[in-house]
A and B are shown apart, each in its own frame.
Chain A
Amino acid sequence: MASVRSLDNAFGIDPNGYGYNTNARKGVILRNLVEGADLVMSHITHFYHLAALDYINTDYSDCPISGVPPWSPKDNDTATMVPTAGGTTGDTATTLILHYVQALNIRRKAHEMAALISGKQPCQPMLLPGGVTSVVTTALTSNFNTLIGDPDASIGDSWITAANSGKNILSFINYVYQPDILLVAPIISGFTKASSTQGGSGVAKYLAYGTFPNHSTGTLYISSGFLDATSGVVSPGWTLSTFNQGNIAEHIKYSYYDEGGGANTQLHPSVGVTKPQYGKSGAYTWAKAPRYNGNVAEVGPLARVLINYASAALHGNTNVTVWKDTVDYVMNALGLNNPSILANIPELRSVLGRHAARFIEAKVIATAMTGWLRDIHSQPLTGGTYTHTPIPSGANNSGYGLTEAPRGALGHWIRIAGRRIANYQCVVPTTWNVSPKDDSGVNGPIEKALIGTPIDTGASSAAINRLRVGRIIRSFDPCIACTVHIVTPDRKTIDKFEVSPLPER
Chain B
Amino acid sequence: MLSLNKIKKNILILGIGNLLMRDDGIGIHVAQRMKDMTLPPDVEVIDGGMLVLEYLYLIEGREKVIVIDAIKTDDSPGTIYRYKNGEIEKKRKDFSLTPHEAAFMKNLNASYLLGTNPEEVIFIGIRPADTGESDLKLDTNLSPTLEKKVPEIIEMVMKEIMMKGGKLKGNFFDRENRFINHRRKEMEVKR
Which residue on chain B has the smallest CB distance to residue A502?
A: B102
Interface size on B, residues (CB 8 A): 50
Residues of B contacting A74 in the complex (Cβ-Cβ under 8 angstroms): 93-95
- CB within 8 Å of B: which of A442-493? 466-467, 469-470, 473-474, 477-478, 480-493
Which residue on chain B has the smallest CB distance to residue A495?
A: B98
- CB within 8 Å of A: which of B73-119? 73, 81, 83, 87-106, 109-110, 112-114
User: A503 to B50, Cβ gap below 8 A?
Assistant: no
Residues of B contacting A112 in the complex (Cβ-Cβ under 8 angstroms): 1
Q: Among the listed B24, B70, B93, which residue makes an inter-chain contact with A59, where contact means beta carbons less than 8 Å apart?
A: B93
Residues of A contacting B105 in the complex (Cβ-Cβ under 8 angstroms): 69, 487, 502-503
* CA gap between A46 and B53 in the complex, in Å: 11
Does A45 sit at the interface, judged by CB under 8 A?
yes
Does B54 sit at the interface, judged by CB under 8 A?
yes
Comparing A13-21, A101-109, A190-198, A377-385, the segment that makes contact with chain B is A101-109
Q: Map CB proximity to B onto A100-126 as digits: 1 under 8 Å, 0 otherwise.
A: 110011011001100000000010000
* Total of A-B residue pairs, C-beta within 8 Å: 152
Which residue on chain B has the smallest CB distance to residue A45?
A: B53
User: A474 to B99, Cβ gap below 8 A?
Assistant: yes
Residues of A contacting B18 in the complex (Cβ-Cβ under 8 angstroms): 482-485
Q: 7 extra interchain contacts, Cβ-Cβ under 8 A, other than A67-B91, A104-B53, A486-B131?
A: A46-B99, A75-B95, A481-B99, A483-B18, A483-B21, A489-B81, A489-B83
Residues of A contacting B131 in the complex (Cβ-Cβ under 8 angstroms): 484, 486
Which residue on chain B has the smallest CB distance to residue A67?
A: B91
* CA gap between A478 and B103 in the complex, in Å: 15
User: B71 to A489, Cβ gap below 8 A?
Assistant: yes
A482-B50, A486-B72, A487-B70 given; A500·B101 CB < 8 A? yes
Q: Among the listed A72, A104, A146, A488, which residue makes an inter-chain contact with B71, where contact means beta carbons less than 8 Å apart?
A: A488
- What are 6 A-B pairs with beta-carbon distances under 8 A? A75-B95, A482-B50, A485-B50, A486-B69, A500-B102, A503-B105
User: B90 to A503, Cβ gap below 8 A?
Assistant: yes
Does B56 sit at the interface, judged by CB under 8 A?
yes
* CA gap between A501 and B94 in the complex, in Å: 8
* CA gap between A474 and B98 in the complex, in Å: 8
* CA gap between A104 and B57 in the complex, in Å: 10
User: B102 to A470, Cβ gap below 8 A?
Assistant: no
Q: Which residues of B contact A (CB under 8 A)?
A: 1, 16-18, 21, 24, 50-54, 56-57, 69-73, 81, 83, 87-106, 109-110, 112-114, 123, 125, 128, 131, 136
Q: Among the listed B56, B71, B113, which residue makes an inter-chain contact with A486, where contact means beta carbons less than 8 Å apart?
A: B71
Q: Among the listed B52, B54, B57, B97, which residue makes an inter-chain contact with A497, where contact means beta carbons less than 8 Å apart?
A: B97
Residues of A contacting B70 in the complex (Cβ-Cβ under 8 angstroms): 484-487
* CA gap between A488 and B70 in the complex, in Å: 9
User: B52 to A500, Cβ gap below 8 A?
Assistant: no
Most chain B CB within a 10 A radius of its CB, from A100, A104, A111, A143: A104
Residues of A contacting B73 in the complex (Cβ-Cβ under 8 angstroms): 488-490
A49-B53, A68-B109, A490-B73 given; A485·B95 CB < 8 A? no
Q: Map CB proximity to B onto A62-78 as digits: 1 under 8 Å, 0 otherwise.
A: 00010111101111000
Residues of A contacting B90 in the complex (Cβ-Cβ under 8 angstroms): 503-505
Residues of A contacting B94 in the complex (Cβ-Cβ under 8 angstroms): 74, 491, 493, 501
In order of increasing CB-CB distance, the 9 nearest A-B pairs are: A481-B100, A500-B101, A503-B90, A74-B95, A50-B99, A481-B98, A503-B92, A486-B72, A488-B72
A485-B17, A486-B72 given; A122·B51 CB < 8 A? yes
A501-B96, A502-B92, A503-B105 given; A485·B72 CB < 8 A? no
Residues of B contacting A135 in the complex (Cβ-Cβ under 8 angstroms): none
Residues of A contacting B17 in the complex (Cβ-Cβ under 8 angstroms): 485
Which residue on chain A has the smallest CB distance to residue B74?
A: A490
Does A276 sit at the interface, judged by CB under 8 A?
yes
Interchain nearest-CB distance for A320 vs B (Å)? 30
Interchain nearest-CB distance for A67 vs B (Å)? 5
Q: Which residues of A contact B (CB under 8 A)?
A: 45-46, 49-50, 59, 65, 67-70, 72-75, 100-101, 104-105, 107-108, 111-112, 122, 143, 146, 276, 278, 466-467, 469-470, 473-474, 477-478, 480-494, 496-505
Residues of A contacting B106 in the complex (Cβ-Cβ under 8 angstroms): 49, 69-70
User: B100 to A482, Cβ gap below 8 A?
Assistant: yes
User: B57 to A478, Cβ gap below 8 A?
Assistant: no
User: A69 to B109, Cβ gap below 8 A?
Assistant: yes
Residues of B contacting A474 in the complex (Cβ-Cβ under 8 angstroms): 99
Interchain nearest-CB distance for B129 vs A (Å)? 13
Residues of B contacting A493 in the complex (Cβ-Cβ under 8 angstroms): 94
Interchain nearest-CB distance for B26 vs A (Å)? 11
User: B24 to A484, Cβ gap below 8 A?
Assistant: yes
Interchain nearest-CB distance for A341 vs B (Å)? 31
Interchain nearest-CB distance for A435 vs B (Å)? 18
A480-B98, A481-B100, A485-B100 given; A70·B109 CB < 8 A? yes
Which residue on chain B has the smallest CB distance to residue A469?
A: B97
User: B95 to A68, Cβ gap below 8 A?
Assistant: no
Q: Among the listed B87, B89, B101, B110, which residue makes an inter-chain contact with A481, where contact means beta carbons less than 8 Å apart?
A: B101
Most chain B CB within a 10 A radius of its CB, from A72, A111, A481: A481
Residues of A contacting B91 in the complex (Cβ-Cβ under 8 angstroms): 67-69, 72, 503
A68-B109, A70-B106, A101-B113 given; A278·B72 CB < 8 A? no
* CA gap between A480 and B109 in the complex, in Å: 22
Which residue on chain B has the smallest CB distance to residue A111?
A: B54
A45-B53, A503-B105 given; A72·B92 CB < 8 A? yes
Interchain nearest-CB distance for A358 vs B (Å)? 14
